[in-house]
Amino acid sequence: MAPATFRQRWSAYRTRWKRRELLWRCIRAGRRLSPLSDRTRQISARDILLFAAIRNEIDRLPEFLDHYRGLGVDHFLIVDNHSDDGSADYLRGQPDLSLWRSGDSYRAARFGMDWLGALQFRHGHGHWCVTVDADELLIYPDYPRQSLTELTARLDREGVPAMGALMLEPFPTGPLGTADAGPDAPMMTRLPWFQPGPFRTRIVQPRRNRITQGGVRERFFRDDPDLSPTLNKLPLVRWHWRHVYVNSTHSMLPPRLNDCYDGPGDPRLSGVLLHGKFLPQIAAKSDEELQRGQHFVDPARHRAYHRELTTGPVLHSTAAQRYEGWEQLVALGLMGTGEGRRAQTEPAHPEERG
C-alpha cells in the first residue's frame, strides 16, 4: 500500500477530531435525559438493541414494536421528545423497553442523534444495534423467516460491521391523507404502492458518506432536486463506543462504515426501510412542521414542500408498483442478497480494537 500523502493524513486527523467532538456532544446531551423507565439491567451480552427518538407517535407504535419484536429485537431504548398524545405512557408500560425524556430541541440535538448517541455510548458497545425512526420498518432478504440474530451472525462471519438500507416511501391509491385500508391494517396494506426509482448515489469526501436521492419524494423538489431528501441509511451496526452517527443515520464515523452500502444496485446484503411518511396523518404532521421547523437544517427552504404535502396531492402514477414482498425489491435492485458482495478492504482503526 502506498504511503499516505500529507492531505490524506490531514483529512484523517480532522475526521478523528470530528468524531471525538460528536461523541462529546452525545455525552453532554445524555446528562440532560430524564429516565422514565430504565430497564437496561435486563440487557444481556448478545441482545440486539433498538434505538429511536419519538414525538407523538401513538398511532404508529403498536405496529412498530410488533414488527421489530418479530424480527428479534431484544430491548428498545427510546427517547421521547415531550409527546402529548399518550406515547410516553404507552411506552412506559412495555416490559422490554427503557424510556427517557428530553424537552430540548430536536433540531439542536442533531435531529435526535445526540440523545441516541448518548444511549449508544452507554449501552450499545458490542451489540448489534438498530437505529430507526418510529415510521420506519426495516426489512431484508428472507425476512421474517431469517431473524436479526441469524442475519447478524452472517454479517459477523463475513466480517461486515454494518448493513445499509434504502428508504422507500409507500403511498395510497388516492390523495395523500387517505389510505387503502383502515387504521388497524398493516402499513403496507394501507399504503400498497411504491415508485421503484429512479435513484442516484454519489460519494462525498472526505468522510466517504453516500447520498442517494430520487424516488417519489423528488417530485416535490423539481426546481432543485439537490434539496430532495437523502434516502440511504445505515440502520444496523455492530456498535463500538467510538462510533457515532453524523447526519441522522445517513452517515457515520469512522468513514469505513460508510463504505458498507452504495445505495440501490449494490449487490451486498442490504435492506429497505419502509417509510410510513404518507400515512393519513401526513397533513397534520406537515402543518405542525411548518410551525416547529425541527426536521431540516434550513427549514425555510423546505416550507413549500411541507405546504404542498398539506394539499393532498396524488402520488400514484403509471410508474407505481404494488408492493408484493422482499423478493420483488431484490428483483428491482432495491435490496441486495449478498451474492457477489464486495469485501471490505479497510480494517478497523486501531483505536476500535479491544
Task: Spell out the per-residue pLDDT of the chain, length 354, in tens.
Answer: 566 788 888 888 889 999 999 999 999 999 999 999 999 999 999 999 999 999 999 999 999 999 999 999 999 999 999 999 999 999 999 999 999 999 999 989 999 999 999 999 999 999 999 999 999 999 999 999 999 999 999 999 999 999 999 999 999 999 999 999 999 999 999 999 999 999 999 999 999 999 999 999 999 998 899 999 999 999 999 999 999 999 999 999 999 999 999 999 999 999 999 999 999 988 777 666 656 655 555 556 667 787 888 888 999 999 999 999 999 999 999 999 998 655 444 545 444 433
The H-or-E segment that residue 76 falls in is strand 75-80
In which order are the strands placed within the sheet that holds 34-37?
Answer: 34-37, 97-101, 75-80, 49-54, 128-131, 232-238, 162-168, 271-275, 136-139
Q: Is 273 helix (H, G, I), strand (E, B) or coil?
A: strand
Task: Look up the pTM and report it.
Answer: 0.92
CA distance 221 to 210: 20
Nearest to 48 by CA among 132, 142, 170, 115: 132
| Residue linked to cell 500500500 | 1
Degrees (nearest 5) of the Cα angle 74, 77, 82?
145
CA distance 220 to 217: 6
Q: Which residues contact 334 (CB under 8 A, 6 or more apart)?
A: 166, 168, 196, 197, 264, 272
Domain ranges of the chain: 16-134, 139-340
Residue 65 is predicted with a pLDDT of 98
Dihedral (CA of 120, 121, 124, 128) sign: positive
The H-or-E segment that residue 34 falls in is strand 34-37
Task: Phi first, then psi: give them for residue 62, nearest 5 degrees.
Answer: -60, -45
Residue 292 is predicted with a pLDDT of 60
CATH number of 16-134: 3.40.50
Residue 284 is predicted with a pLDDT of 72
